[in-house]
Structure formats: C-alpha cells, structure tokens
C-alpha cells in the first residue's frame, strides 16, 4: 500500500494506461469499415465519427474481459508508473462501470503494475474532476477532453493524453496536452 501522505494523481485507464484505443480502432475498421486513428477513439471524438449507437456496441465488446486483457500498455508506461509511484499515490479513475472495471485489476496484475496503484475507482455516470477532487488528487490525466473541460475543481491540475498531438506538449488554459508518458513526466 502506498503512503497516504503522498500527493495523489488520478489516471484514466482506457487509452492512457492500456491501449484499448487501438482495440477500438481495430473493431471499428473490422465491423464498420471505417478507419480511425487510435488517438481519436476516446468517446468524445469517436462518437463524432461513428455515432453513439455504434460506439456503445463497440465499447460493449472492447471493455469486456477478452478484449480488455488483449490491450497492450502504452509506450513508456512501464517505466513511468514506477517512477510516479515513488512520489505520488496513484489511483486509476475510469468511466468503466463496475461490471467491466474488474478486468483492470487482472490487466494490471498481468503487467506487474497492480502494486503501484492505491485504488481503482469507477466514475461511471459521474463527473471525473469531481471524483478526483474528492479523492484529493492534485492531477487528473485523461485521454477524453470532456472530463477536463469542467469548470471548478481548481485544485486539480488537468492533463490531456493526446497521442495525435503535433508537439509533445501544448497548453490550453487550465489544460496541458501531452503526447506521451515521457511528455507527462516532463510537465508534471
């Protein structure tokens, strides 16, 4: 268990820790015949390309156990997480519902990362920044910009994980966009 006195960082799981966005892009290509970059497979951007109904069908498959466990770690994750865990309490904050969040534990165990996290919390149908604030997180890292563009919660620094960025780091008001785990470590 990590030291409770350390500052806390809340980190999204899908598309930030596990590359489920690549699985989404593959499913969309195979089932809908549409090519979309994995970097655009967060809910907000993906729905613009394939619609809500298709996104929900895809998410039901990709967030289930079989697909969830096929996801690869994002580049740089395996070195970044232990480095962060030395300085911060790390909490996964995922919009997955309780029936699908359990696969996160299994995935973390399979990559030897489970012990690096204090907790895994579902924000299903709730406001992520609000939950991050309740958890006393000093930062939230998420690949879906809608979770970061909420007013208030000024105590939580906002980082948007966007692997399709042209530059490694871009700033937009309260939000810092980072292209990779390396960029996140640089600006944190």
pLDDT digits (tens, 9 = 90+) for 153-182: 889 999 999 999 999 999 999 999 999 999
The backbone region for 147, taken as left when phi is positive above 0, alpha when psi lies in -120 to 50, beta otherwise, is alpha
User: Quick one: pLDDT at residue 3?
Assistant: 64
Verify that 33 and 91 share a domain, yes or no.
no
pLDDT digits (tens, 9 = 90+) for 121-155: 999 888 999 999 999 999 999 999 999 999 888 89
Verify that 12 and 49 share a domain, yes or no.
no
Largest Cα–Cα distance of the chain, in whole Å?
Answer: 49
Verify that 52 and 80 share a domain, yes or no.
no
Q: Give the angle 16-20-23 at the CA atoms, nearest 5°.
A: 150
Q: Which two tokens mark 91?
A: 């909490």
Mean pLDDT of 75-81: 96
3-state secondary structure the chain: CCCCCCCEEEECCECCCECHHHHHHHHHHHHHCCCCCHHHCCHHHHHHHHCHHHHHHHHHHHCCHHHHCCCCECCCHHHHHHHHHCCCEEEEEECCCHHHHHHHHHHHHHCCCHHHCCEEEECCCCCHHHHHHHCCEEEEEECCHHHCCCCCCCCCEEEEECCCCCCCEEEECCEEEECCHHHHHHHC
Mean pLDDT of 76-97: 96
Distance CA 16, CA 94 (A): 10
pLDDT of 33 strictly over 50: yes
Verify that 155 and 132 share a domain, yes or no.
yes
CATH number at residue 173: 3.40.50.1000
pLDDT of 2 strictly over 60: no
Domain around 103 = 8-18+72-187
Tracing tokens 């390396």 back to the chain, one arrives at 182
Q: Is residue 3 part of a domain?
A: no
Verify that 64 and 90 share a domain, yes or no.
no
pTM above 0.75, yes or no: yes
User: Quick one: pLDDT at residue 99?
Assistant: 86
The backbone region for 94, taken as left when phi is positive above 0, alpha when psi lies in -120 to 50, beta otherwise, is beta
Mean pLDDT of 89-110: 94
Q: Is residue 2 part of a domain?
A: no
Closest CA to 159 of 5, 9, 4: 9
User: Quick one: pLDDT at residue 153?
Assistant: 85
Mean of the per-residue pLDDT values of the chain? 95
User: Quick one: pLDDT at residue 1?
Assistant: 44
Mean pLDDT of 27-52: 96
Mean pLDDT of 23-50: 97
């Amino acid at each position: 268990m990590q030291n409770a006195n350390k500052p806390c960082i809340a980190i999204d799981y899908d598309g930030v820790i596990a590359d489920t966005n690549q699985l989404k892009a593959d499913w969309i290509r195979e089932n809908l015949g549409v090519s979309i970059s994995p970097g655009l497979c967060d809910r907000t951007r993906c729905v613009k390309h394939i619609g809500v109904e298709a996104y929900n069908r895809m998410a039901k498959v990709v967030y289930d156990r079989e697909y969830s466990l096929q996801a690869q770690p994002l580049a740089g994750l395996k070195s970044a997480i232990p480095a962060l865990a030395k300085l911060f309490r790390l909490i996964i904050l995922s919009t997955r519902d309780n029936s699908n969040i359990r696969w996160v534990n299994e995935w973390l165990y399979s990559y030897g990362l489970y012990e690096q996290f204090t907790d895994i919390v579902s924000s299903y149908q709730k406001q992520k920044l609000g939950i991050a604030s309740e958890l006393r997180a000093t930062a939230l890292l998420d690949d879906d910009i809608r979770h970061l563009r909420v007013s208030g919660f000024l105590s939580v620094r906002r980082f948007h994980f966007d692997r399709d960025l042209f530059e490694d780091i871009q700033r937009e008001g309260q939000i810092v966009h980072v292209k990779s785990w390396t960029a996140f470590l640089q600006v944190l």
